[in-house]
Amino acid sequence: MEAYNSDRHVYPANARFYDDPDHGLMIELRADANSGIARPATQQDIETYNRAYTQYQGGGVPPTSEDIAPVLTSLSPDSMPADGAAITVTITGTGFADGRSVVVWDDKDAASVFESDTTLSVEMTGPGVEGVSTVGVRNGDELSNELEFEFTAAETPVRRR
């Protein structure tokens, strides 16, 4: 359930820190033992894992993927007409947990469907006005990066004579 890095901090088993000569400290979030997506480790990653370690050492629950802030990579589609009918928006990223990940749309929880640890979906209806919304995913208190979703002007039908 746990893995240690060189300074003996404990991290979730699906995460691995390592030094890359070209990119510095990296974190690999692993979907399974044989695959993963690596990216530079952020200060938030380090703080999250150090907090999980402290809680575990203090008799708390051992850290799991639920302690990890998800990382969003894309929305599909990433826009729709402001007056559009309901569509399904697919959110792709890493670190999603069934029963734990919550889609946050403009700072409000949105009903979503867990598809996999890399995919969530949410039904969205146009709000009637143009604009940009922010979309994130939360695991407990850990919030992901945010992506933008655009509500575009309605298409004006062309009248033919």
Residues 50 and 114 in one domain: no
CA atoms within 13 A of residue 32's CA, in its CB half-sphere: 2
Tokens of 110: 């949105």
Domain coverage including residue 104 = 71-152
Mapping DSSP to helix (H, G, I), strand (E, B) and coil, where does residue 88 land? strand
> Are residue 85 and residue 55 in the same domain, yes or no?
no
Q: What's the confidence (pLDDT) of residue 109?
A: 93
Q: Which long-range contacts (CB under 8 A, 24 or more apart) does 34-37 make?
A: 37/71, 37/94
Do 77 and 146 belong together in one domain?
Answer: yes
81 and 143 share one domain: yes
Q: Which residues face 64 on adjacent strands?
A: none
Verify that 125 and 52 share a domain, yes or no.
no
Name beta bridge partners: 109: 104
Looking at the structure of the chain, the number of domains it has is: 2
Q: What confidence tens digit (pLDDT) does each residue in 71-100 have?
A: 999 999 999 999 888 999 999 998 888 888
Q: What is the pLDDT of residues 108-131, one digit of tens each?
A: 999 999 999 899 999 999 888 999
Same domain for 78 and 59: no
**For position 122, what pLDDT does the model report?**
96
What pLDDT sits at residue 108? 93
How many CA atoms, within 13 angstroms, populate the side-chain half-sphere of residue 41?
A: 21
Answer yes or no: are the C-beta atoms of 48 and 60 closer than 8 Å: no
The amino acid at 148: E
- Fill in the amino acid letter for 88: T
